[in-house]
Amino acid sequence: MGYVEELRAIVGHRPLILVGAVVIVLDPSGKLLLQQRKHPYGSWAIPGGLMELGESVEDTARRELYEETKLTAGELHLINVYSGPKYFLVAPNGDEFYTVTVAFYSTDITGELIVDREESLDFRYFAPDEIPEFIAGSHKRILEEFMAKHYNNIVK
């Protein structure tokens, strides 16, 4: 049982503050790696997940990327931290939570992409003009900020 599951056993569905990290992976051609999730089914998202006790957000980003893809991230670059009232969610089971998401990007990636079928339907690299419409709301904001502030400085 993980940290969040242990908390839920104590507090039930009451609101929690959950910290997570995501990492936008860019391939050498400038395409972005996105995960097609099982929950909500078929939605696209940036690889990432929730922090475990004792982790840094960088550790979280690297661990989640590796668990979901078997890719290893080296150097991470901060995009921004996303939090506040618009990051309140209610899960289908009634669990309420506010997310604090730390977003990174990396071009320093090694390994061979292998999809973890526990959480993911697919992983695919997309050119910026090919990014699917059905993206998790907060991840859409992260991608928009990344494209506006960082992408053109990375891909030349």
The answer, yes or no, to whether residue 137 has pLDDT greater than 90, is no
pLDDT of residue 3: 86
Mean pLDDT of the chain: 94
pLDDT of residue 142: 97
The answer, yes or no, to whether residue 1 has pLDDT greater than 80, is no
Q: What are the contacts of 77-85 at 24+ separation with CB within 8 A?
A: 77/104, 77/105, 77/106, 77/150, 78/102, 78/103, 78/104, 79/24, 79/103, 79/104, 79/105, 79/142, 79/145, 79/146, 79/149, 79/150, 80/142, 80/145, 82/138, 82/141, 82/142
The answer, yes or no, to whether residue 2 has pLDDT greater than 90, is no
Helix, strand, or coil (residue 71) = coil
Q: What is the pairing mode between strands 96-106 and 88-90?
A: antiparallel
pLDDT tens-digit readout, 12-42: 999 999 999 999 999 999 999 999 998 888 9
The residue type found at 95 is D
